[in-house]
Amino acid sequence: MPWLVRQLVRLVVVLFCVTLLTYTIVNILPGDVAIVILGNLATPQDIAGLRADLGLDRPMLVRYFDWLGSALSGDLGRSYRSGEPVVQAILDRLPVSLQLMVMAQLIALGIAIPVALLSVRRPGGLFDRISASAAFGFLAMPNFMLGIVLIYLFSVTFDLLPATGFTPMSEGLWDNLESMILPSLTLGLIEWTVLMRVLRSDLLTTLKEDFILLARAKGLPQWRVLLQHALRPSSFTLITILGLNIGGLIGGAVIVEQIFALPGVGRLLLGGIFNRDLILVQGTVAFIAVGFVVINFLVDMLYAVLDPRVRHVRFRS
Amino acid sequence: MSGQAKSQAPLLSVRNAEVSFSTARGPLRAVDGVSFDLHEGRTLGIVGESGSGKSVLVRSLIGLVGAGSGAGVAGQVLFEGRDLRGLSPREFRGVLGTEIGIVFQDPMTSLNPVMKIGRQIGEGLRLNRGLDSKAAARRAVELLSEVGIPEPERRARQYPHEMSGGMRQRVAIAIAIACAPKLLIADEPTTALDVTVQRQILDLLQREQRQRGMAMILITHDLGVAAGRADDIMVMYAGRAVEAAATREIFRSPRMPYTEALLRSLPRLTDPTHSRLSAIPGRPPDLARRSGGCSFAPRCSYRTTQCDEQQPVLTWEASRGYACFHPRGVEGGVGA
């Protein structure tokens, strides 16, 4: 099967499984959106009436396929709670989440790549051991705790950055960045550890290759050997992990957006869960799943950019 | 070789080269006190079986063994009278980049898979000869055509995986000679190639060497390869030089029983058909557990108690040296 078709089939299967699972789980959850909307004092008749209005009285599977049908045409329905179209609600909050994740990844890569390069200069040396310990320390730290530590350090103690809240880019780039630095750091400082470890181990393997010896024999200094010869062929696992970690990053973003009061997709999702706003949760999860699969699809394309051999196999034969 | 009377100083002079690795089973001496001289324009064949230390020896001379691998390197290496081991890293890289070229065994792994051929050839020129990228690219195309690659302009823009093994080895040779070195090291340059291509590559190496007046170290496990190409041969066994002489003398009358056994194990056209090849019994010794005696003794048919107790040193007799108590073809030797 051609590569592209395989990717598309994968996308469809993933989406189907994810949405069905979400639908089931949210339905099993105790609680009812009708009660959330009408309050605890509502009469059973009122609740039953609202449920009928929202279409909640129909069997679950019927509702699911109904939803799936319109989702495929791009309509994710309207929030039970606010009546706002789900697609609109997501698109409004998407820029915040995207910025958070891009900045977090940049921070993670910005730490991981130099640290990995420096630690393979002398494996087992002082820098290598310190960076390994630091990585395990950060990896062991839950992100909500790291977020609070960062707020304490940068906002409370030194008063350098705002603790919570979000400033849109339209109100000034610096103000916007200021409000995003701590949340991105919270995610990035945990994310870099895994990236650094896989890159370091791939670099060590690459450095044993003959073409590295040949590069040294050309008289290239160590840093040029590392940057120009070793880094690119060592980055394939890094790229894979980068794609797969998007899932973890989205999960982290849900929590981090909550801690820093950022109006992102994660907070939208969390609010939906608290309100038993099934249709909103469903739409958001489906959107995230598509995002995840699409990003990994793009990551796969990136291999071809990095490795001419992949290009050869995939696009010429 | 050391014994040869040469008026000028040798290009490369190695004294008591040692390389040891620390392993879980204790220190392992991969190269143990090897000395040799190489003069300008000459070819030295270093012959030995796998694990005899020939590659490690040569790589240690040019600093490609050591840093980071936990290897201990000792001995003196003089290149044009300069002590290579005493140079600063920067000076050393300068010598390595301009004066010494190396071709590795496997062209599948010795070229960077994600870098275009032309750039890999031009890289050294830009760094060591100060060429700008355009001039380096032009020179890379010239070098490709010099090593016999058709359509050099197109090939320069390709990646290694788009070429055959023989072509890649030609590219590796182009890289090695790019900066016009005085010494070319060929580390089993044909072992990974098809038999039909082996000869072409050896011819190319020899042609380049003659045209440019380079000295060459040809490392091989195949005496047949060294036979027609090397002026002198040094035979290595278990990390030591066990015999060194002019090539024709080695072939005419080997002194060391190991060399003799190697020669006997070469198939000959004059052999009757279907006759068995002669093999050397036993296995090379465990370098982490050296005995006090001759390393080859357990496999040697002329072994005496002296061989088990004392380690023979490389002694020189006229223009040739051997490390053996019972040299072949000599008064007093077993085979005399």
Q: Are residues B212 and B306 in the same domain?
A: no
Q: How far apart are CA B309 and CA B252, in angstroms?
A: 30
Q: How far apart are CA B257 and CA B240, in angstroms?
A: 14
B159–A209 CB contact, under 8 Å = no
Q: Are residues B49 and B197 in the same domain?
A: yes
Q: Which residue, among B112, B120, B127, would best test binding to A if mutated, counting the most A CBs under 10 Å from its CB? A: B112
A219–B124 CB contact, under 8 Å = yes
Nearest to B253 by CA among B319, B304, B313, B187: B319
B-chain CB neighbours of A123 within 8 Å are 68
Range with the lowest mean pLDDT among A15-19, A130-134, A209-213, B231-235?
A15-19
The pair of structure tokens assigned to B58 is 């040569």
A-chain CB neighbours of B93 within 8 Å are 219-221
Q: Are residues B140 and B77 in the same domain?
A: yes
Confidence at residue A132, expressed as pLDDT on a 0 to 100 scale:
93
Digit-coded pLDDT (tens) for A221-268: 989 999 999 999 999 889 888 888 888 888 888 889 988 888 999 999
Tell whether B307 is covered by a domain.
yes
- Alpha-carbon gap: A308 to the closest alpha carbon of chain B (Å): 6
Does the CB of B96 have a partner CB in chain A at under 8 Å? yes
Under 8 Å between Cβ of B17 and B31:
yes
H helix intervals, A78-172: 86-121, 126-140, 143-150
Tell whether B289 is covered by a domain.
no
A307–B172 CB contact, under 8 Å = no
| Residue of B93, B104, B128 with shortest CB distance to A213 | B104
User: Under 8 Å CB-to-CB from A241, ≥6 apart: which residues?
Assistant: A194, A195, A198
Tell whether B258 is covered by a domain.
no
Digit-coded pLDDT (tens) for A54-86: 777 888 888 888 888 888 888 888 887 788 898
B104–A214 CB contact, under 8 Å = yes
Q: How far is CA A272 from CA A265, A266, B112, B192, B197, in A?
A: 10, 10, 52, 64, 70
A-chain CB neighbours of B115 within 8 Å are 228-229
Under 8 Å between Cβ of A91 and A76:
no
Total residue count of chain B as it appears in this document:
336
Tell whether B261 is covered by a domain.
no
Confidence at residue A173, expressed as pLDDT on a 0 to 100 scale:
81
Which residues in chain B come in under a pLDDT of 70? 1-7, 66-69, 331-336
Q: Are residues B50 and B127 in the same domain?
A: yes
Q: How far is CA A89 from CA A98, A101, A263, A269, A280, in A?
A: 15, 19, 11, 10, 9
DSSP of A10-65, one letter per residue? HHHHHHHHHHHHHHHHHHHSS--HHHHHH-TT--HHHHHHHHHHHTTTS-HHHHHH
Q: How far is CA B30 from CA A208, B22, B56, B242, B288, in A?
A: 18, 10, 7, 14, 9
Digit-coded pLDDT (tens) for A31-52: 777 777 777 778 888 888 888 8
A214–B162 CB contact, under 8 Å = no
Q: How far is CA B51 from CA B47, B239, B287, B292, in A?
A: 11, 8, 9, 19
Under 8 Å between Cβ of B249 and B330:
no
SS3 B167: helix
B68–A214 CB contact, under 8 Å = no
Digit-coded pLDDT (tens) for B7-45: 578 999 999 999 988 888 888 888 988 999 999 999 999
DSSP of A296-311, one letter per residue? HHHHHHHHHHH-HHHH
DSSP annotation of A225: I
The domain segmentation of chain A, as residue ranges, is 95-272
Instruction: List the Cα angle A216/A217/A220 in 5-degree steps.
Output: 45
Does the CB of B87 have a partner CB in chain A at under 8 Å? no
- Alpha-carbon gap: A134 to the closest alpha carbon of chain B (Å): 23
Nearest to B47 by CA among B194, B281, B258: B258
DSSP annotation of A228: I
Nearest to A141 by CA among A255, A61, A269: A255
Q: How far apart are CA A106 and CA B26, in angstroms?
A: 45
DSSP of B290-315, one letter per residue? --SS-TTGGG-TT--HHHHHSPPP-E
Q: Which residue, among A204, A214, A305, would best test binding to B if mutated, counting the most B CBs under 10 Å from its CB? A: A214
Q: Are residues B307 and B201 in the same domain?
A: no
CATH number of A95-272: 1.10.3720.10
Nearest to B146 by CA among B106, B173, B125: B173
Does the CB of A122 have a partner CB in chain B at under 8 Å? yes
How many other C-beta atoms can be found within 10 angstroms of the C-beta atom of residue B153? 13
Average pLDDT over residues A271-278: 83
Does the CB of B124 have a partner CB in chain A at under 8 Å? yes
A-chain CB neighbours of B98 within 8 Å are 219
SS3 B159: coil
Does the CB of B127 have a partner CB in chain A at under 8 Å? yes
How many angstroms from the chain centroid is the CA of residue B163? Answer: 26
How many other C-beta atoms can be found within 10 angstroms of the C-beta atom of residue B297? 22
For the four alpha carbons of A112, A113, A114 and A118, in that order, the dihedral sign comes to: positive
Q: Domain count of chain B?
A: 2
| Residue of A214, A217, A233 with shortest CB distance to B114 | A233
Under 8 Å between Cβ of B184 and B103:
yes
Tell whether B51 is covered by a domain.
yes
Does the CB of A16 have a partner CB in chain B at under 8 Å? no
Residue A270 pLDDT more than 50? Answer: yes
Beta partners for residue A78, in sequence order = A85
The pair of structure tokens assigned to B136 is 């380096």
Confidence at residue A226, expressed as pLDDT on a 0 to 100 scale:
93
Digit-coded pLDDT (tens) for A181-220: 899 999 999 999 999 999 999 999 999 888 999 999 999 9
Digit-coded pLDDT (tens) for A80-112: 778 889 899 999 999 999 999 999 999 999 999
Question: Which range marks the domain in which residue B242 is found?
Answer: 12-252
Q: Which residue, among B114, B125, B191, would best test binding to A if mutated, counting the most A CBs under 10 Å from its CB? A: B114
Confidence at residue A192, expressed as pLDDT on a 0 to 100 scale:
92
A217–B111 CB contact, under 8 Å = no
Domain endpoint, select from B252, B278, B311? B252
Does the CB of A232 have a partner CB in chain B at under 8 Å? yes
Q: Which residue, among A128, A203, A206, A210, would best test binding to B if mutated, counting the most B CBs under 10 Å from its CB? A: A210
B175–A307 CB contact, under 8 Å = no
A219–B93 CB contact, under 8 Å = yes
Under 8 Å between Cβ of A27 and A60:
yes
Q: Are residues B184 and B308 in the same domain?
A: no
Q: Which of residues 166-195 of B touch A (CB under 8 A)?
A: 172, 175
**Nearest-by-CA chain B residue for A208:** B69
Amino acid at A99: Q
Q: Which residue, among A211, A220, A223, A229, would best test binding to B if mutated, counting the most B CBs under 10 Å from its CB? A: A211
- Alpha-carbon gap: B158 to the closest alpha carbon of chain A (Å): 10
B93–A309 CB contact, under 8 Å = no
B-chain CB neighbours of A213 within 8 Å are 59, 64, 104, 110
Q: How far apart are CA A91 and CA A86, in angstroms?
A: 9
Q: Are residues B313 and B206 in the same domain?
A: no
Does the CB of A213 have a partner CB in chain B at under 8 Å? yes
User: Under 8 Å CB-to-CB from B33, ≥6 apart: which residues?
Assistant: B16, B17, B18, B75, B240
Amino acid at B62: I
Under 8 Å between Cβ of B101 and B185:
yes
SS3 A219: coil
Nearest to A116 by CA among A198, A225, A213: A198
The torsion angles phi and psi of B57, rounded to 5 degrees, stand at -55, -55
Does the CB of B126 have a partner CB in chain A at under 8 Å? no
Domain of B72: which CATH number? 3.40.50.300
| H or E, element range at B15 | strand B12-23
Digit-coded pLDDT (tens) for A170-183: 887 888 888 888 99
